[in-house]
Amino acid sequence: MPPQPGMPLITNGLRTVNFFNGRLLTAEDLHNEQISAQRARRRLGLAVGDGVLRGLRVRVSATATRTRLLVHVESGIAVNMLGDPLELGSDVDVSLSGGHAPAAPVQPATFAPCGEPDLGAPPLGAGAYLLTLGPASQKVGRAPVNGQAAEPARCATDATVEGVTFGLLPLDVPASFLGAKERPRLRNRLAHLLFGSTGGSGRPGIDLLGADGEMRPPQGLVDELRTAGRLDDASVPLAAVFWTVENGVEFVDTWAARRGLVRREPAIRWPALLGERPRSDAVAVLHQFQDQVDDLVASDADLTRLAASDLFDLLPPAGIVPVASERSGAGFHRDDFLGAVGSRFVETLDGDAVRALLEESLTHRPVPTTGGDLRFRRYWVSENLVTSAEGSVPRLVMVFAAESLAYRGTARFGYARMGASRFAHTGM
């Protein structure tokens, strides 16, 4: 008969062992109890979503050399698509030269027949890789036995400790990305392959309409790896890494692969418009760009000679870049960075408007630096303009925003200061 209100429904429910004095316990009972606890944890994990909760940022290790390929991973917590929480308890340097491809999903420790350890794959060669984090476990200690156990001696361990393991998955990078003239744009291109913001031809992907008539989020390289079975649901992407024999690790791009916690909502209408993933991807696009700008500043390169089109095929709909001036440090040229795709004037906005501008930008797609229809407005931040001129902050910055975003130039009459007047232009 159909279920009625108040009637228990226990199909596929959690089964827990009923403990009482005098009951004979077996390994199977304890195994079932552990499986139920694991399923309960996974329910919570699936409720909060999969991705990185905190930490787990990746960068080139301070001790890395051309032949000693090391990346530094900060401690942190993530949740995989199975709902398993993964915690790296302390910072660690990870070697890339002897990397292993992600193995089959490792189940959390439960009572089970003993097996041989997985020795992993052989070392990997130079190229682009996806660094992942997955579950692992290791038996520790020795447990006393009564001499009557049928299990082999190697099974008599005291406990199993759950931990994590790193994986390296080769990424298929088009050969056209690797030419000497194209190499400066490799990091940006690889990132947007992972984001899914470009199609195979390198043009911005605009077809979001799935075969079933529903709006679907763009499918990036990570999605393709999961569909092909090369990336399992137990692994959480942490970063994209590119290294060569000549230079060692050339860059580590955390936000190209990293995402915050995202709940899976397969039944939602128009997930590309209303789901959590589009916002998570947009946040990653912005942070990836800002991280790359930070790395360029730290490289001591002469940024005034570089235009956006030299380094980026696609820019986020809005971003912030340092600008070279007499008082500030390294930065781009205010006019040459965007060149012909930038507005004629650098306008002024209030600092309070920056947050709203960035929030709005998360609902827009990345913008090409060449050959596109959109241009960018350029803004000074009024407070930064004044304090950088006074020398109280070390860097002058410029905000750029696609013209598809709401205009936020601020005009303030009755206020003027040499070099820091608040004005707004209406033309591009």
Four-CA torsion 130, 133, 139, 140, nearest 10 degrees:
110
Per-residue pLDDT tens for 3-30? 878 888 777 788 888 888 888 888 788 8
pLDDT number for residue 105: 46
pLDDT number for residue 236: 95
Work out the average pLDDT over 398-406: 94
Residues 323, 304: Cα–Cα separation, whole Å: 8
Strand 342-349 with 376-381, pairing? parallel
pLDDT number for residue 139: 75
Count CB neighbours of 414 within 10 A: 5
Work out the average pLDDT over 265-270: 67
pLDDT band at 267 (very low <50, low <70, confident <90, very high): low
pLDDT number for residue 413: 57
Per-residue pLDDT tens for 36-47? 888 888 888 888
Evaluate whether 238 touches 258 at the Cβ level (below 8 Å): yes
Q: What tokens appear for 404 in the block?
A: 């598809």
Share of the chain above pLDDT 90, in %: 41
Residues 134, 232: Cα–Cα separation, whole Å: 9
Count CB neighbours of 210 within 10 A: 13
Q: What tokens appear for 95 in the block?
A: 């070697």
Max CA distance (Å), the chain:
93
**How many residues in total does the chain contain?**
428
Q: Looking at the predicted structure, is the pLDDT value of residue 327 above 50? A: yes
pLDDT number for residue 147: 60
Residues 360, 348: Cα–Cα separation, whole Å: 18
Q: What tokens appear for 375 in the block?
A: 């241009």
Q: 163 or 123, which is more confident?
A: 163
- What top-level class would CATH report for the domain 51-97+124-138+157-270+279-284? mainly beta
Q: Where do the CATH 2.60.520 domains begin and end in the chain?
A: 51-97+124-138+157-270+279-284
Q: 88 or 150, which is more confident?
A: 88
According to DSSP, the residues that pair with 163 across neighbouring strands are 136
Q: 157 or 250, which is more confident?
A: 250
Choose among 166, 186, 188, 173: nearest CA to 221. Answer: 173
Q: 325 or 376, which is more confident?
A: 376
Evaluate whether 74 touches 61 at the Cβ level (below 8 Å): no
CA within 13 Å, CB half, 295: 17
CA distances from 216 to 222, 303, 375 (A): 15, 38, 27
DSSP 179-245: STTTGGGHHHHHHHHHHT-B-TTSSBP---B-TTSSB-PPP-HHHHHHHTTSS-TT-EEEEEEEEET
Per-residue pLDDT tens for 99-149? 444 444 444 544 444 443 333 343 456 789 999 999 987 777 777 776 655
DSSP 312: -
Q: Looking at the predicted structure, is the pLDDT value of residue 151 above 70? A: no
Four-CA torsion 184, 186, 189, 192, nearest 10 degrees:
-110
Q: 153 or 171, which is more confident?
A: 171
